[in-house]
A and B are shown apart, each in its own frame.
Chain A
Amino acid sequence: MVAPAALRVVRCGGSTLHGVRAVFSADSKQVGPGYLLCASGDFVKMYSVTTEETLRLMGGHADLVTGIQLNPHNHMQLYSSSLDGSIKLWDFMDGIPIKTFTIGSKLLALYALASSEDSVFVVIPKSGERDTFQLVSVKLTKAAGHDLEAKELSVVLDGVDASPKRIAFGREGEYVASVKDVNLQVYFFKQKQLNRFSVSAMKTKGGNNHFTCIACHPTEDCIATGHADGKIRLWRNFCHKKEYTFSTLHWHHDTVMDLAFSMEGTRLLSGGVESVLVLWHNESDCQRDFLPRLGSAIEYISMSSDGTLCCTLHTDNRITIINSNLRFCKSIQGLIRSMDVKTGLVVDPRTKALVLNGEPGHLQFYCLQSDQQLFSLDIVQRQYIHQAGLNQTDLVKVAFSAQGKWLATVEEREELSDPGLQLKLWFYDEETQSFKLNTRINTPHEDHITDMCFRDMDELEDDSLILVTAGRDCVFKVWVMVEDTDPEAQQSVSWSCDFVGSYHNYQATNCCFSEDGSLLAVSFEETVTVWDSVTWDLKCTFCHPPGKIRNICFGRLTCSKYLIGATDYGFLCCWNLLSCALEWSAHLNVLVLQPDPLSEHIAAVSWLSKESSLFVFKPNEPRPIYIQKNLCKEKIQLAAFVPRDEPETISSEKYLWLRRSQLFFLTDTQELMTLSTKSLEERLTPSSKQLAVEESLPVTPFSLLLGKHRRQQSQEDIDLGKPVVHNKHEQDSPAVKELLHTPAHVLPSASFLCPIFINSLLISKENKSAEEVADEVEMESEKTEDDSDEERDVTEMEQEDTSPVELLGEMTCKLSKSQEKELRKIRKMDYSWIAAF
Chain B
Amino acid sequence: FEVHRVRFFGLVPAGVRCLACQPRGGRLALARTDGAVEVYNFAANYFQEKVIPGHEARTVEALCWAAGERLFGAGLGGDITEYDLARLCVARSVDGCGGPIWSMAANSSGTQLAIGCEDGSVKLFQVVPGGIQFERNLDRRKGRILCLSWNPSDTHIAAGSIDILRVFDVSSGRTIQRIMVNYHVQKLKRECIVWSIAFLSSGAVVTSDSFGRVQFWDWERGTLLESHTVSTSAVLSLAVSEKEDSIIVGTSTGATYQFQLLPVKMGSLEKRWVRTKPFQHHTHDVRAVAHSSTALISGGLDAQLVIRPLMEKMQKKGYEAALRKFTFPHRRLVSCARKARLLLFQFSQHLELWRLGSTEETGKDGEVLPLCRMPEHLVQLKSKGPEHIYCSSVSPCGSWVAYSTASRFHLYRVQYEGDSVSVEKVPKVPKLLLPAYQLQFSSDSDSLFVASARGSVHVLQLLEPGGCKHLHTFQPPSGSPEAVYLLASSADGHWLAAVGGDWAIHIYNLKCFQHHCMVPMYSCAVTALAIHPVTNNLVIAYSDQQLFEFSIPQKQYTTWSRTVQNCGLHKVWLERDSPITHITFNPKNPSHILLHDIYMFCVLDKSLPLPDNSALLMNQSTLKQLPETARQRQLHAFKICKKFQPLLFADLLDENCLVMVERPIMDIKTQLPPPIQQKKFGT
Contacts and interface: CB of A to CB of B under 8 A. Distances in A.
Nearest to B264: A220
B669 interface: no
A221 B260 contact: no
A253 B682 CA distance: 9
A499 interface: no
Interface stretch (B191-199, B229-237, B454-462, B524-532): B229-237
Interface in B205-231: 212, 228-231
Interface string A230-267: 00001011010011111110000100000000000000
A174 interface: yes
A243 B266 contact: no
Nearest to A238: B266
B262 A286 contact: no
Interface string B489-520: 00000000000000000000000000000000
Given A221-B264, A237-B262, A237-B263, A246 B229 contact: no
B216 to A, nearest CB: 14
18 contacts: A188-B266, A220-B265, A236-B260, A236-B274, A237-B262, A239-B266, A242-B312, A244-B312, A245-B260, A245-B274, A248-B277, A248-B278, A253-B682, A284-B229, A284-B275, A286-B212, A286-B230, A286-B231
A204 interface: no
Given A174-B266, A285-B278, 10 more contacts: A236-B260, A236-B262, A237-B262, A242-B312, A247-B274, A283-B275, A284-B228, A284-B275, A285-B275, A286-B230
Interface in B230-289: 230-232, 258, 260, 262-266, 274-278
B263 A221 contact: yes
A286 B266 contact: no
Contacts of A246: 276-277
Identify which of B232, B274, B278 gathers the most chain A CB atoms within 10 Å of its CB. B274
A266 B327 CA distance: 41
A237 B229 contact: no
B229 A247 contact: no
B682 A245 contact: no
Interface in A130-180: 171, 174
B681 interface: yes
Interface of B: 212, 228-232, 258, 260, 262-266, 274-278, 312, 681-682
Identify which of B232, B258, B276 gathers the most chain A CB atoms within 10 Å of its CB. B276
A381 interface: no
A245 B263 contact: no
A245 B276 contact: yes
B274 A283 contact: yes
A396 B277 CA distance: 51
Nearest to B226: A282
A578 to B, nearest CB: 69
Contacts of A237: 260, 262-263
Interface residues of A, dominant DSSP: loop
A287 interface: yes
Interface in A774-800: none
A261 to B, nearest CB: 14
A599 B265 CA distance: 69
A766 to B, nearest CB: 62
B215 to A, nearest CB: 13
A171 B260 CA distance: 21
A286 B228 CA distance: 9
B266 A245 contact: no
Contacts of B228: 284
Interface in A208-241: 219-221, 234, 236-237, 239
Given A286-B231, A286-B232, A245 B264 contact: no
Contacts of B276: 236, 245-247
Contacts of A248: 277-278
A283 B259 CA distance: 13
7 closest pairs, A vs B, by CB?
A247-B276, A245-B276, A243-B312, A286-B229, A239-B266, A242-B312, A220-B264
Contacts of B232: 286
A244 B310 CA distance: 11
Nearest to A243: B312
Given A236-B262, A237-B262, A245 B277 contact: yes
Interface string A265-299: 00000000000000000011111000000000000
A724 B231 CA distance: 56
Nearest to A237: B262
Interface in A10-39: none
B312 A245 contact: yes
Contacts of B263: 221, 237
Contacts of A188: 266
Contacts of B264: 220-221
Contacts of A171: 265
A285 B231 CA distance: 9
A202 to B, nearest CB: 14
Nearest to B270: A220
B229 A287 contact: yes
A511 B383 CA distance: 96
Contacts of B277: 245-248
B315 to A, nearest CB: 10
Contacts of B266: 174, 188, 221, 239
A245 B258 CA distance: 10
A245 B275 contact: no
A206 to B, nearest CB: 11
A171 B682 CA distance: 38
Nearest to B275: A247
B44 to A, nearest CB: 26
A784 B274 CA distance: 61
Nearest to A220: B264
A239 B264 CA distance: 12
A220 to B, nearest CB: 5
A246 B276 CA distance: 5
A243 B258 CA distance: 14
B81 to A, nearest CB: 39
A137 to B, nearest CB: 21
B258 to A, nearest CB: 8
Contacts of A286: 212, 229-232
Nearest to A240: B312
A247 B278 CA distance: 7
Contacts of A283: 274-275
B148 to A, nearest CB: 28
Contacts of B231: 286
B229 A221 contact: no
A807 B227 CA distance: 62
Contacts of B265: 171, 219-221
A243 B232 CA distance: 29
Nearest to B228: A284
Contacts of A234: 274
A458 B275 CA distance: 72
Nearest to A236: B262
A242 B314 CA distance: 9
A243 B230 CA distance: 23
Interface string A697-717: 000000000000000000000
A284 B277 CA distance: 12
A393 to B, nearest CB: 27
A244 B258 CA distance: 13
